[in-house]
C-alpha cells in the first residue's frame, strides 16, 4: 500500500511520515530525495521544482505493490492508495516557517495556502481516499495514532474537519494582501 502524507510546508509531514513508516514497518520515501535521485527535480534557486506527472510515473514504476509512506507536499499527486492531509493552525505554520528563516513572500504564500485548504482541495481532486488530520495541539505520536486508527477503520474520506476562517485575524500580519 502506498500512503502519501501531504500538507502545507512546516505542517509536520516528515516528522509524522517517519514515525508512521516505523509503526507500520513500511519504507519511508521522501518525494524530494526521490525526485533528485531520479533526475525529475530541477533546482530553482534554493528549491526543487518537480513535474508532478513525472513524479506519478516514477512512483508507479518504483513502488507499485510495495508498502511505502511517501512524504512531501506534492505526494498527493502520486498514485497513492490513500492520502493523509496534515493540517495545523496557520499561526503554527507561520511561527515554524519564521524560525526556519523563510522570507516574507514565501511565508505569506504558505500561511495563506493553509488558511484556504489548498493541499486538501488538490488531494481531493487527485485521490479517492483522503483522510484529513489536524495536528494542532497534538504530539507527533498522537497524530500517528490517529492516522493508524483512521486507516484501520477503513474510512474512505474524512475531510472538512478544520475551519481556519476564525484564524484569519491571528495571521493577517503574515499575509501580503494586495501584492508585494
Ligand X SMILES: Nc1ncnc2c1ncn2[C@@H]1O[C@H](COP(=O)(O)OP(=O)(O)OP(=O)(O)O)[C@@H](O)[C@H]1O
Using CB atoms within 10 A of its CB, is residue 152 exposed (0-12), middle (13-18) or buried (19+)?
Answer: exposed
Helix ranges (DSSP H) in 25-103 = 31-38, 52-63, 90-99
**Residue 87 interacts with which of Mg ion, ligand X, none, CB < 5 to 8 Å by class:** none
Q: Which is nearer to ligand X, 139 or 173 (CB)?
A: 139
Q: Does 96 bind ligand X (CB under 6 A)?
A: yes
Q: Which is nearer to ligand X, 52 or 64 (CB)?
A: 52
Largest CA distance in the chain: 47
Question: Measured at the alpha carbon of residue 56, what is the angle toward residues 89 and 45, in degrees to the nearest 5?
Answer: 65
Counted residue by residue, the chain has a size of 180
Per the CB < 8 A criterion, the answer to whether 24 and 102 are in contact is: no
- Of 151, 161, 104, give the one whose Cα is nearest residue 129: 151
Q: Does 15 bind Mg ion (CB under 5 A)?
A: no
**Residue 16 interacts with which of ligand X, Mg ion, none, CB < 5 to 8 Å by class:** ligand X
Radius of gyration of the chain (CA): 16
Closest contact distance (angstroms) between CB of 137 and ligand X is 8
Site for ligand X in 42-71 (CB under 6 A): none
Site string for ligand X, 137-166 (x = CB under 6 A): -xxx--x-----------------------
Q: Does 90 bind ligand X (CB under 6 A)?
A: no
Q: Which is nearer to ligand X, 61 or 114 (CB)?
A: 114
Q: Which is nearer to ligand X, 11 or 61 (CB)?
A: 11
Q: Which three cell numbers stand for residue 37?
A: 535521485
**Residue 90 interacts with which of Mg ion, ligand X, none, CB < 5 to 8 Å by class:** none
Q: Does 98 bind ligand X (CB under 6 A)?
A: no
DSSP string, 65-84: TS-EEEESTTGGGS--SEEE
Which residues form the interface with Mg ion (CB under 5 A)?
13-14
Which residues form the interface with ligand X (CB under 6 A)?
7, 9-16, 73, 96, 135, 138-140, 143
Amino acid at each position: 500500500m502506498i500512503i502519501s502524507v501531504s500538507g502545507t510546508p512546516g505542517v509536520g509531514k516528515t516528522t509524522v511520515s517517519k514515525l508512521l513508516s516505523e509503526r507500520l514497518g513500511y519504507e519511508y520515501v521522501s518525494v524530494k530525495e526521490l525526485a533528485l535521485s531520479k533526475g525529475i527535480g530541477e533546482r530553482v534557486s534554493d528549491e526543487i521544482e518537480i513535474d508532478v506527472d513525472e513524479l506519478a510515473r516514477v512512483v508507479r514504476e518504483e513502488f507499485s505493490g510495495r508498502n511505502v509512506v511517501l512524504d512531501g507536499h506534492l505526494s498527493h499527486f502520486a498514485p497513492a492508495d490513500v492520502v493523509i492531509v496534515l493540517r495545523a493552525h496557520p499561526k503554527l505554520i507561520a511561527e515554524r516557517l519564521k524560525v526556519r528563516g523563510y522570507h516574507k513572500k514565501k511565508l505569506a504564500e504558505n500561511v495563506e495556502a493553509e488558511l484556504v485548504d489548498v493541499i486538501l482541495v488538490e488531494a481531493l481532486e487527485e485521490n479517492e481516499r483522503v483522510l484529513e488530520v489536524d495536528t494542532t495541539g497534538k504530539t507527533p505520536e498522537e497524530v500517528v495514532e490517529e492516522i493508524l486508527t483512521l486507516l484501520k477503520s477503513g474510512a474512505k474520506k474524512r475531510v472538512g474537519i478544520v475551519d481556519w476562517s476564525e484564524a484569519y485575524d491571528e495571521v493577517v500580519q503574515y499575509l501580503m494582501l494586495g501584492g508585494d
